Amino acid sequence: MQKGMLFVVSGPSGTGKGTVCKRVKKELEISISVSMTTRKPRAGEIEGESYYFVTHDEFRNALKRNGFLEYAQVYGNYYGTPKAKVLEKLNAGMDVLLEIDIQGALNVKKAFPDSILIFLLPPSLEELEKRIVARGTETEEAIRLRLGESLRELSYVYQYDYCIINDELQDAVDAVASVIRAEHARVRKGIRELIQSYEKSIKGGFLL
Ligand code: ADP
Ligand code: 5GP
Protein backbone atom coordinates (compact mmCIF):
# COMPACT_ATOMS: atom_id res chain seq x y z
CA MET A 1 0.00 0.00 0.00
CA GLN A 2 1.19 3.53 -0.82
CA LYS A 3 2.09 5.45 2.34
CA GLY A 4 0.36 8.73 3.18
CA MET A 5 2.14 12.04 2.66
CA LEU A 6 3.26 14.42 5.38
CA PHE A 7 2.34 18.12 5.00
CA VAL A 8 3.42 20.90 7.34
CA VAL A 9 1.84 24.34 7.70
CA SER A 10 3.69 27.13 9.55
CA GLY A 11 3.46 30.88 9.70
CA PRO A 12 3.30 33.76 12.16
CA SER A 13 0.84 33.51 15.02
CA GLY A 14 -2.55 34.90 13.96
CA THR A 15 -2.01 34.34 10.22
CA GLY A 16 -4.87 31.87 10.15
CA LYS A 17 -3.10 28.48 10.18
CA GLY A 18 -5.68 26.83 12.43
CA THR A 19 -8.60 28.31 10.51
CA VAL A 20 -7.22 27.30 7.10
CA CYS A 21 -6.20 23.77 8.20
CA LYS A 22 -9.66 23.05 9.64
CA ARG A 23 -11.28 24.08 6.36
CA VAL A 24 -8.82 22.00 4.31
CA LYS A 25 -9.75 18.96 6.40
CA LYS A 26 -13.37 19.43 5.35
CA GLU A 27 -12.37 19.36 1.68
CA LEU A 28 -9.82 16.53 1.64
CA GLU A 29 -9.16 13.18 3.30
CA ILE A 30 -6.39 14.28 5.65
CA SER A 31 -5.65 13.82 9.32
CA ILE A 32 -4.55 16.83 11.40
CA SER A 33 -2.11 15.84 14.11
CA VAL A 34 -2.99 16.97 17.65
CA SER A 35 0.13 18.24 19.44
CA MET A 36 1.05 17.98 23.08
CA THR A 37 1.78 21.26 24.85
CA THR A 38 2.67 22.65 28.27
CA ARG A 39 0.77 25.85 27.38
CA LYS A 40 -2.40 26.49 29.38
CA PRO A 41 -5.66 26.03 27.44
CA ARG A 42 -7.31 29.17 26.04
CA ALA A 43 -11.03 29.75 26.44
CA GLY A 44 -12.86 27.42 24.07
CA GLU A 45 -9.94 25.04 23.48
CA ILE A 46 -10.79 21.36 23.85
CA GLU A 47 -8.49 18.73 25.37
CA GLY A 48 -7.52 16.14 22.75
CA GLU A 49 -8.88 18.28 19.93
CA SER A 50 -6.99 21.57 20.11
CA TYR A 51 -4.04 20.05 21.96
CA TYR A 52 -3.20 17.50 24.62
CA PHE A 53 -2.54 19.87 27.52
CA VAL A 54 0.11 18.40 29.82
CA THR A 55 2.39 19.38 32.70
CA HIS A 56 6.13 19.88 32.22
CA ASP A 57 6.73 16.48 33.86
CA GLU A 58 4.34 14.72 31.50
CA PHE A 59 6.02 16.41 28.54
CA ARG A 60 9.50 15.42 29.78
CA ASN A 61 8.34 11.81 30.21
CA ALA A 62 7.00 11.68 26.65
CA LEU A 63 10.32 13.11 25.48
CA LYS A 64 12.28 10.46 27.42
CA ARG A 65 10.16 7.73 25.81
CA ASN A 66 11.19 9.17 22.42
CA GLY A 67 7.50 9.86 21.86
CA PHE A 68 7.83 12.92 19.61
CA LEU A 69 8.33 13.18 15.88
CA GLU A 70 9.64 16.67 16.65
CA TYR A 71 9.28 19.14 19.49
CA ALA A 72 10.21 22.76 20.16
CA GLN A 73 10.02 25.50 22.72
CA VAL A 74 7.82 28.29 21.37
CA TYR A 75 7.05 31.52 23.26
CA GLY A 76 8.22 29.88 26.50
CA ASN A 77 6.06 26.75 26.21
CA TYR A 78 6.88 23.26 24.91
CA TYR A 79 5.04 21.78 21.94
CA GLY A 80 5.53 18.33 20.42
CA THR A 81 4.06 16.14 17.69
CA PRO A 82 3.13 12.66 19.04
CA LYS A 83 5.14 10.26 16.89
CA ALA A 84 3.20 6.98 17.11
CA LYS A 85 -0.10 8.43 15.90
CA VAL A 86 1.42 10.20 12.91
CA LEU A 87 3.41 7.14 11.79
CA GLU A 88 0.35 4.91 12.22
CA LYS A 89 -1.72 7.17 9.93
CA LEU A 90 1.04 7.49 7.32
CA ASN A 91 1.57 3.71 7.28
CA ALA A 92 -2.18 3.23 6.82
CA GLY A 93 -1.97 5.38 3.66
CA MET A 94 -3.52 8.50 5.20
CA ASP A 95 -2.07 11.99 4.59
CA VAL A 96 -1.17 13.91 7.75
CA LEU A 97 -1.09 17.68 8.26
CA LEU A 98 1.07 19.20 11.01
CA GLU A 99 0.45 22.76 12.12
CA ILE A 100 3.75 23.51 13.81
CA ASP A 101 6.37 26.22 14.21
CA ILE A 102 9.38 26.82 11.97
CA GLN A 103 11.98 24.98 14.09
CA GLY A 104 9.70 21.94 14.15
CA ALA A 105 9.00 22.16 10.41
CA LEU A 106 12.69 22.26 9.50
CA ASN A 107 13.38 19.27 11.77
CA VAL A 108 10.53 17.34 10.12
CA LYS A 109 12.02 18.10 6.69
CA LYS A 110 15.39 16.71 7.84
CA ALA A 111 13.83 13.51 9.17
CA PHE A 112 11.31 13.17 6.31
CA PRO A 113 12.84 14.72 3.17
CA ASP A 114 9.65 13.90 1.22
CA SER A 115 7.50 16.03 3.54
CA ILE A 116 6.02 19.19 2.03
CA LEU A 117 6.43 22.50 3.89
CA ILE A 118 3.82 25.22 3.35
CA PHE A 119 4.33 28.73 4.74
CA LEU A 120 1.17 30.73 5.35
CA LEU A 121 1.59 34.52 5.18
CA PRO A 122 -0.79 37.31 6.21
CA PRO A 123 -1.58 39.90 3.51
CA SER A 124 0.18 42.57 5.64
CA LEU A 125 1.61 43.01 9.13
CA GLU A 126 -1.25 45.44 9.93
CA GLU A 127 -3.77 42.72 9.08
CA LEU A 128 -1.79 40.21 11.15
CA GLU A 129 -2.01 42.50 14.16
CA LYS A 130 -5.75 43.02 13.60
CA ARG A 131 -6.37 39.26 13.44
CA ILE A 132 -4.36 38.39 16.51
CA VAL A 133 -6.05 41.20 18.50
CA ALA A 134 -9.53 40.27 17.18
CA ARG A 135 -9.00 36.62 18.16
CA GLY A 136 -8.93 37.90 21.73
CA THR A 137 -7.06 34.93 23.18
CA GLU A 138 -3.75 36.56 24.11
CA THR A 139 -2.69 39.13 26.67
CA GLU A 140 -1.17 42.37 25.34
CA GLU A 141 2.28 41.12 26.30
CA ALA A 142 1.79 37.80 24.47
CA ILE A 143 0.58 39.68 21.38
CA ARG A 144 3.66 41.92 21.42
CA LEU A 145 5.92 38.86 21.75
CA ARG A 146 4.20 37.08 18.86
CA LEU A 147 4.22 40.10 16.54
CA GLY A 148 7.90 40.72 17.32
CA GLU A 149 8.72 37.11 16.45
CA SER A 150 6.80 37.20 13.19
CA LEU A 151 9.34 39.51 11.49
CA ARG A 152 12.17 37.10 12.34
CA GLU A 153 10.05 34.15 11.21
CA LEU A 154 9.40 35.61 7.77
CA SER A 155 13.04 35.13 6.76
CA TYR A 156 12.53 31.32 6.91
CA VAL A 157 10.02 31.35 4.09
CA TYR A 158 12.81 30.55 1.60
CA GLN A 159 13.33 27.14 3.20
CA TYR A 160 9.72 26.15 2.55
CA ASP A 161 8.34 24.44 -0.56
CA TYR A 162 5.26 26.65 -0.92
CA CYS A 163 4.16 30.07 0.29
CA ILE A 164 0.46 30.93 0.39
CA ILE A 165 -1.02 34.31 1.36
CA ASN A 166 -4.09 34.04 3.55
CA ASP A 167 -6.00 37.11 2.36
CA GLU A 168 -9.41 35.76 1.29
CA LEU A 169 -9.90 32.67 3.44
CA GLN A 170 -11.45 30.45 0.75
CA ASP A 171 -8.65 31.32 -1.73
CA ALA A 172 -6.04 30.24 0.82
CA VAL A 173 -7.93 27.01 1.56
CA ASP A 174 -8.17 26.28 -2.19
CA ALA A 175 -4.45 26.96 -2.61
CA VAL A 176 -3.44 24.59 0.22
CA ALA A 177 -5.81 21.90 -1.12
CA SER A 178 -4.33 22.37 -4.63
CA VAL A 179 -0.80 21.88 -3.29
CA ILE A 180 -1.85 18.64 -1.60
CA ARG A 181 -3.56 17.36 -4.74
CA ALA A 182 -0.65 18.36 -6.98
CA GLU A 183 1.92 16.74 -4.68
CA HIS A 184 0.03 13.46 -5.09
CA ALA A 185 0.60 13.66 -8.84
CA ARG A 186 4.38 14.14 -8.49
CA VAL A 187 6.58 11.40 -9.90
CA ARG A 188 7.81 9.60 -6.79
CA LYS A 189 9.58 6.38 -5.86
CA GLY A 190 6.28 4.53 -5.43
CA ILE A 191 5.36 5.07 -9.06
CA ARG A 192 8.21 2.75 -10.13
CA GLU A 193 6.17 -0.31 -9.06
CA LEU A 194 3.20 0.78 -11.15
CA ILE A 195 5.36 1.38 -14.23
CA GLN A 196 7.04 -2.02 -13.69
CA SER A 197 3.60 -3.66 -13.60
CA TYR A 198 2.79 -2.02 -16.98
CA GLU A 199 6.10 -3.26 -18.38
CA LYS A 200 5.33 -6.80 -17.16
CA SER A 201 1.92 -6.65 -18.89
CA ILE A 202 3.57 -5.64 -22.15
CA LYS A 203 6.24 -8.38 -21.84
CA GLY A 204 3.53 -10.89 -20.91
CA GLY A 205 1.91 -10.13 -24.23
CA PHE A 206 -1.35 -8.77 -22.86
CA LEU A 207 -1.21 -5.69 -25.06
CA LEU A 208 0.05 -7.32 -28.26
P1 ADP B 1 -3.12 30.93 13.78
O2 ADP B 1 -3.56 29.51 13.91
O3 ADP B 1 -2.19 31.15 12.61
O4 ADP B 1 -2.54 31.51 15.03
P5 ADP B 1 -6.00 31.49 13.65
O6 ADP B 1 -6.46 30.44 12.71
O7 ADP B 1 -6.30 31.36 15.08
O8 ADP B 1 -4.42 31.80 13.44
O9 ADP B 1 -6.60 32.87 13.10
C10 ADP B 1 -6.38 34.11 13.78
C11 ADP B 1 -7.64 34.97 13.64
O12 ADP B 1 -7.74 35.41 12.29
C13 ADP B 1 -8.93 34.22 13.97
O14 ADP B 1 -9.79 35.08 14.67
C15 ADP B 1 -9.49 33.86 12.59
O16 ADP B 1 -10.89 33.78 12.60
C17 ADP B 1 -9.01 35.04 11.73
N18 ADP B 1 -8.76 34.70 10.31
C19 ADP B 1 -8.18 33.59 9.81
N20 ADP B 1 -8.10 33.65 8.46
C21 ADP B 1 -8.66 34.83 8.10
C22 ADP B 1 -8.88 35.48 6.83
N23 ADP B 1 -8.51 34.94 5.69
N24 ADP B 1 -9.48 36.69 6.85
C25 ADP B 1 -9.85 37.27 8.02
N26 ADP B 1 -9.68 36.71 9.25
C27 ADP B 1 -9.08 35.51 9.29
P1 5GP C 1 -0.33 28.47 19.89
O2 5GP C 1 0.14 28.63 21.31
O3 5GP C 1 -0.68 29.80 19.27
O4 5GP C 1 -1.40 27.44 19.75
O5 5GP C 1 0.91 27.94 19.06
C6 5GP C 1 2.15 28.61 19.10
C7 5GP C 1 3.06 28.07 18.03
O8 5GP C 1 3.38 26.70 18.30
C9 5GP C 1 2.42 28.06 16.62
O10 5GP C 1 3.43 28.50 15.70
C11 5GP C 1 2.10 26.61 16.38
O12 5GP C 1 2.13 26.27 15.01
C13 5GP C 1 3.27 25.95 17.12
N14 5GP C 1 3.01 24.54 17.44
C15 5GP C 1 1.85 23.94 17.77
N16 5GP C 1 2.04 22.62 17.95
C17 5GP C 1 3.34 22.37 17.72
C18 5GP C 1 4.15 21.18 17.72
O19 5GP C 1 3.72 20.06 17.98
N20 5GP C 1 5.47 21.33 17.41
C21 5GP C 1 6.01 22.55 17.12
N22 5GP C 1 7.31 22.58 16.80
N23 5GP C 1 5.28 23.68 17.10
C24 5GP C 1 3.97 23.59 17.40
pLDDT tens per residue across span 34-52: 999 999 998 899 999 999 9
Mean pLDDT of the chain: 93
Is the pLDDT at 190 greater than 80, yes or no? no
* Residue 139 backbone dihedrals phi, psi, to 5 degrees: -75, 165
Q: Is 35 in the pocket of ligand 2 (CB under 6 A)?
A: yes
The per-residue pLDDT for 168 is 98
The per-residue pLDDT for 35 is 98
Integer CA distances (angstroms), 59 to 63, 69, 97, 116, in order: 6, 13, 22, 27
Q: Convert the pLDDT of each residue in 122-139 to its tens digit.
A: 999 999 999 999 988 888
Q: What mean pLDDT is predicted for residues 14-28?
A: 96
Q: Convert the pLDDT of each residue in 93-123 to its tens digit.
A: 999 999 999 999 999 999 999 999 999 999 9
Q: Convert the pLDDT of each residue in 50-59 to its tens digit.
A: 999 999 999 9
pLDDT band, very low/low/confident/very high, at 200 (cuts 50, 70, 90): confident
Task: Kindly give the distance from the C-alpha atom of residue 126 to the centroid of ligand 2, in angstroms, as a whole number.
Answer: 22
The per-residue pLDDT for 208 is 57
Integer CA distances (angstroms), 202 to 171, 176, 189, 193, in order: 44, 38, 21, 14
Q: Is 72 in the pocket of ligand 2 (CB under 6 A)?
A: yes
With 0-12 / 13-18 / 19 or more C-beta atoms within 10 angstroms meaning exposed / middle / buried, residue 53 is middle
Tell me the C-alpha distance between 107 and 35, whole Å: 15
Q: Is 125 in the pocket of ligand 1 (CB under 6 A)?
A: no
Residue type, 91: N
Closest ligand by atom to 174 CA? 1
The per-residue pLDDT for 72 is 97
Choosing from 8, 9, 19, 39 the residue with most ligand 1 atoms within 8 A of its CB, the one to mutate for a pocket test is 19
Q: What mean pLDDT is predicted for residues 139-161?
A: 91
Task: Kindly give the distance from the C-alpha atom of residue 39 to the centroid of ligand 2, in angstroms, as a whole number.
Answer: 10
Q: Is 120 in the pocket of ligand 2 (CB under 6 A)?
A: no
pLDDT band, very low/low/confident/very high, at 207 (cuts 50, 70, 90): low
Q: Is 135 in the pocket of ligand 2 (CB under 6 A)?
A: no
Q: Which is higher by pLDDT, 62 or 194?
A: 62
Choosing from 17, 33, 79 the residue with most ligand 2 atoms within 8 A of its CB, the one to mutate for a pocket test is 79
With 0-12 / 13-18 / 19 or more C-beta atoms within 10 angstroms meaning exposed / middle / buried, residue 9 is buried
| Closest among 40, 82, 88, 41 to 61, alpha carbons compared | 82
Evaluate whether 122 touches 131 at the Cβ level (below 8 Å).
Answer: yes
The per-residue pLDDT for 18 is 95
